[in-house]
Structure 1
C-alpha cells in the first residue's frame, strides 16, 4: 500500500424515501458510518457507528428493510456533529478512498445542510470503482461486492454495513495495487546482464 500519504477507507449508509414520494424536503442523510484508517500499510484505526439523522428522524420501511437497520439503532447513534468531529481528528493530508462518488457527495450535502465545514478539504479523493473500471477496461461500473468476487475473494462481513464495506474497499484497493505492480515494466536489462563475461573471457584464454 502507498506509504506516502495515510489512507482512509470510508463508507456511509444513507436514509431512503419510501418509493418515489418520500416526504417534503427529503434529502439523503448519513445513518451509519464505517472507516478504516491506515498509515504505512498498517491499520491504525477502525471506526463504526450509527448516526442519528437530523431531518428525517424516522426511517422509512424501505430503508430499514434494504439496509437491515432498525429505528432503535439510529436513535442510539452519535450525532452528525460528533461524526464530523471524529473525521476531523484524522491526519491530513491523506487519500480518502470510497467505492463510488456518492459517499462524498452526501457527506458534503449533509455538511451544507448542518452548516458545518466539510472535513476533507485538504485531502485527495480516490473513487475506487472508477479505478477498477479503468484497470479492467469495463464499460460499466461494478458493485463493490461483485468486484471482490470477480477477484475470487469474499467481502468482509455483511454487505451494506458501513464498516464491512469499508474493509471490503480496502481489500480491493490492495488487490488492485498488487496487480499494478505486476504490470509495471521491469528495468531494461543490459548486455552485461545477459552475458557472463567471466565465462566468455575464460573461453578465449584457453
Structure 2
C-alpha cells in the first residue's frame, strides 16, 4: 500500500535568522500517512549540531529544545541513517516526502551535501504542501501552517516549532492538497 512521508525539521538559528548555510538540523519529525491522510507511524530524532554546538537563547525559547537533549544526540549522518532504517521497517511503499514549505527540502539537501551523508530523501520526490494547499484552496498566497489549519477549521495540536508536532499537523492538511494518489476521505 502506498503512503506519503511528512517531514518537519527544526534547526539552529538566532533572532533575525541565519543564512541557510549556517543553520544545522537539530530535530527531525516524520509521519508516515496513507494517501487518505491517516497516520500510520511516527518517528522523532534529535540531531547534535557541529558548527554551532551551543543553542542560542532564541532557538531554545522558540523550539523548547534544551541543550542537554542535543549534547549526546547523533550527528546528522547517523540520524539520516536512522530515518532510513525506520522507513525500511515500514510495510508501505513511500510515494515521496512532503513538508510545509520548501525550507525543509533545501536544508536536508544542503546538510546532506555538506556532511557527505547518504539519505533516501535525496532520491524521493518532494512536495511543498504549503504551495499545494494554497493552489488547491484557491488562496491568493501561501500561508503558514497554523493559519492553514485554521482555514481548514482545525486547531494546531501540540507544540509549535517541535518537529514531530509540526509534521503531524502538516499531515492533517494532506487531504486538502490533493497530491498524486490522493484518496478522498469524509473526515480529514
CA shift in 2, pair 1:6/1:94, >3 Å: same
Q: Which residue of 2 aligns with 1:14?
A: 11
CA contact (8 A) 1:17 1:26 kept: no
SS in 2 for 1:115: coil
Q: 2:156 aligned with 1:141, yes or no? A: no
Q: Structure 1, residues 95-151: CA drift from partner, whole Å, max 9, x if none?
A: 201100000100111111111234323312111000111112223210001111111
Structure 1 regions of 5+ residues with no counterpart? Answer: 183-206
CA contact (8 A) 1:38 1:45 kept: yes
SS in 2 for 1:38: strand
Q: Which residue of 1 aligns with 2:64?
A: 68
CA shift in 2, pair 1:116/1:11, >3 Å: same
Equivalent pairs counted in the alignment come to: 176
CA contact (8 A) 2:31 2:167 kept: yes
- Quote how far apart the aligned CAs of 1:165 are: 0.6
SS in 1 for 2:45: strand
CA shift in 2, pair 1:109/1:153, >3 Å: same
Q: Structure 1, residues 141-171: CA drift from partner, whole Å, max 9, x if none?
A: 1000111111111122111110001110111
TM, length-normalised to structure 2: 0.81
CA shift in 2, pair 1:68/1:121, >3 Å: closer
CA RMSD of aligned residues (A): 2.7
Structure 2 regions of 5+ residues with no counterpart? Answer: none
- Quote how far apart the aligned CAs of 1:78 are: 2.7
Structure-2 separation of matches of 1:86 and 1:8: 15
Q: Which residue of 2 aligns with 1:97?
A: 98
More displaced stretch, 80-89 vs 101-110: 80-89
